[in-house]
Every structure is written in C-alpha cells, then in structure tokens.
Amino acid sequence: MSLTDLKCRTAKPKDKAYRLVDSGGLFLDMSPTGRRTWRLKYRFQGKEKLLTIGPYPAISILDARIKSEAAKERLLSGLDPCQLKQDEKKLAEFKNAQTVELIAMEWYRKNLSTWAPSYGKNVLSRLKLNVFPFIGQHPISKITVQHILVCAQKVENRGKSDLAHRVLQMIGQIMRYAVVTGRAERDLTVDLRGALKKYRKGHFASIDIDELPKLLKALERNDVRLFRQTVLAIRLILLTFVRTSELINATWGEFDLKKKLWHIPPERMKTRIAHTVPLSSQTIEILMELKKLYGEDGYILPSAFKRGKPMSNNAILTALGRLGYKKKMTGHGFRSLAMSAIKERLNYRHEVVDRQLAHQPKNKIDKAYDRAMFLPDRIKMMQQWADYIDRVSGKDKNLVKARVTPEKLRKSSGIRRCR
C-alpha cells in the first residue's frame, strides 16, 4: 500500500531506524533522531543499491515519486543513478570553485610570457584593485551582467572612464577564456556595449617641434636641480625615442659601443620582437658618462636608492613636470616628437622612422619585410637626429659657422702679408 502525506507527517521516531515503504522501491527512512529521508532501492548490474533522494518534508511525497521515476528511466538507459548523482555533485563543486579570481589568474599566467613586463604588471594591478574585491570570489558560472556592470561602474565613478573601459575589456577576455575552457556559457560583457560613459581617447602629451629648443635650454640650465642621472635619462630618451620602460630597464649587456648599436631583447619589447637602436655619437658620450658614474655592470640607469634595481618608472615624467612641462610632455611624447621632427625637418620616409619606433607592421606586405631592412638608413637618421638636436640647442660646434679671421681672408683672396 502506498504512503500518504498524513502518514509521513505523523510517523514517530523509534529506538532504531525503520522504513515507511511507498512503492516501486521508494521508501521514507526514519532515523531515531526524527530525521526523515527519501531513498530509492534499486538493482544495478546485479547489485542492490540505495539512492538518496532528499529530506522530508522539504521534498514532498509527490516530488519524491517524480524523482524516483526519473531515476528508473536512467536505469532503463543503462545508467547508474547513484553514480550520476555523485558526478553531478562533483561537477557542482567544481563549478563553485571556479571563481572569477581563479580563472583570471590562470588567464594571466597563460598570457604573461607574451606581454611586456610593464604591461603584465599593470594587468595584475588592475585585477587586484578593480576586479577581485568586487567579483573575485563569485563562481564565474553564476556571474551576471549586473555583477560585471557594477564592477566597471565602481571604476567609472572614481572619474576613470578610460580605466573602466579597459577593466570591462579585460573581464571580457577572461570570460572568453572561461568559455573556451568549458567553465562559462558565454561572454556576458557583450551585453554591456554602450553601458559605460563614452570617453575621448587622448594621446600622450607632447610638445611641438618648435618648442624643443626651450625644453633643451630648461634642461641645460637645470634650475630645478634635477639629479645628473635624470638629466642624462631625459637626453637619452630624446636621442633614442624608445619607450620609457625600455630605457630605464636597459642593461650594459645590451649595448655594443664599438658598433654603436643597442640590441633590446624581445622579452623587453612591447611587440615581443627584438629591436635594434643605432647609437649616435652624442648618445655614446652620455653612455660613457653613465659608465663613469655607476660602472658598467647591471642597469645603465640604476636606482639611486636601491642598488640592483632600475630608476623609477615615473622619474622622467616627474622631472619634466618640475621643468614646467606637466601635462605638456611625457617620456612617451618624445616618440611622437621625433616622428614629426624627423619626417618634417630631416625629410625621412615614414617607413624608416616607423621601423625605428619598433611599431608592428599593420599589413601583410609590411610584415613580409625584414625588420632590419632599413638599418643603414636608420643609422644615418639617428646621427642626423642627434645633430639636429644639437643644432636647435646651439651646441653643435660642427655646424656653427667658423669666424672669418684676417688670416683666413687673406688666404682665400690670395693676398700675402707684407714683411
């Protein structure tokens, strides 16, 4: 005879566990403590097994029967209901353990070797400051669009619209990685297009070509009493127009002073491609001065406070601010300054300057060329650029007109001095 809900509710516990049998192998297991649990007795591959369906009254007698029939259907398909339940439980535990932070760090480590060190450091910092505190512990399978939106808006509300867009983009990359690895259904950031405030993407601050002499004079006077190392660093970045991180992390082992070449290894480049920088005579002079100041081991621009580490990444930017160029000039701005000046004043083709800037070719035809193809042109260009800087600063002795002395005038006109 089948059970009724009344009989299940009024059943009393006994000294020993006992069963209230329903039908088809379903029964209510009564424990001495009063706990009541639905279970299904069945046979699989000749062995008797018990499937725990769940507690009563949380699971009613009707629901227990429905779950029992579903288990029997699985049996007819040759599947063990107990094993399936264990698998589902393990899968649920696995999904709950796949938090945003866990997957983000996995994604971070997977891509770290392809990033420049400075970029990898920025990515990790943004994750720790702008993502992990808000959604880091959420299972990624349970993240909603609203969770992500709130996370990005917290950054936006700090007045950092640009960073908010970058954070949203980064979360999208993490979610796509989770989709590929089977831990998320889809990238939810797609639904947030247009959700954040639009912003105008700006360029790194840079002075105009005609303002260069004034900056050079301010650097020469050094009224703000910058460290000699900082002055030399600014001159180096002006002469070589590499990225700030590429300069401050440079070591003596990268330089071939005899051949006047600086070979930057791929792991230090943004493009992850090795880059060669021809060195002008003026650049060599600065490097020789740095050798006298700090020796020829380790970094060419070591930290003044912590030996074995490079100078601060903000040293050049801070120094430019002290010289009166805050928000007017940046270390990266020397790249655009050089690009404009070399093309307009020295009449070099865009391809030669662009190659010296280590920009990644944008089309297949450009990519087919050897990156060292313009090296002879670049060697000549870098020396002319250094000479141009000397000329506009009034320091180029070779380009200053020689004074016409009476002796020179007589020689040129064929007049001899009378004795």
Reported as a single tens digit per residue, the pLDDT across 308-317 is 899 998 999 9
CATH number of the domain within which 245 lies: 1.10.443.10
* Residue whose C-alpha is closest to residue 62's, from 126, 2, 16: 2
203 domain-assigned = no
Q: Mutual orientation of helices 81-97 and 61-76 as an angle, nearest 10°?
A: 100
Task: Let me know whether 274 and 365 are in one domain.
Answer: yes
What pLDDT is attached to residue 86? 84
* The predicted structure's pLDDT at residue 383: 96
* Omega within 30 of 0 (cis) for the link into 57: yes
Examine the fold and report which residue of 192, 221, 247 is the final residue of a domain before the chain moves on.
192
Average pLDDT, the chain: 86
pLDDT band per the 50, 70, 90 thresholds, residue 272: confident
Task: Give the pLDDT of residue 197.
Answer: 81
CB 353 within 8 A of CB 310: no
Count other C-beta atoms under 10 Å from residue 196's C-beta.
17
pLDDT tens track for 237-256:
999 999 999 999 999 999 99
State the pLDDT at residue 198: 77
Q: How confident is the model at residue 365 (pLDDT cuts 50, 70, 90)?
A: low
Q: Which pLDDT band, with edges at 50, 70 and 90, does 416 fall under?
A: very low
Task: For residue 401, tell me if it sits in a domain.
Answer: no
Residues assigned a catalytic role = 243, 270, 332, 335, 359, 369
pLDDT in tens, 139-178: 998 899 999 999 999 998 888 888 999 999 999 999 999 9
Mark whether 188 and 266 lie in a shared domain: no
The CA angle 389-395-400, to the nearest 5 degrees, is 105
Give the predicted TM-score (pTM) of the model. 0.58
Per the CB < 8 A criterion, the answer to whether 18 and 30 are in contact is yes
**pLDDT beyond 90 at 319:** yes
**Residue 273 pLDDT > 80:** yes
| Average pLDDT of span 190-214 | 80
Q: What gap in Å lies between CA 367 and CA 361, rounded to an integer?
A: 5
Q: Is the pLDDT of residue 299 over 90?
A: yes
Q: Give the sheet arrangement for strand 255-256, strand by strand.
A: 255-256, 261-264, 275-278
Do 188 and 239 lie in one domain? The reply is: no
Could you give the number of structural domains in the chain? 3
Residue 23: pLDDT band (50, 70, 90) is confident
CATH of the domain at 10: 3.30.160.390
**Same-domain check for residues 107 and 83:** no
Query: Confidence class of residue 364 from pLDDT cuts 50, 70 and 90?
Result: low
Identify the domain containing residue 164 by its residue range: 100-192
Q: Same domain for 105 and 122?
A: yes
Q: Is residue 300 included in any domain, yes or no?
A: yes
- By C-alpha distance, which of 194, 171, 57, 67 is closest to 123? 171
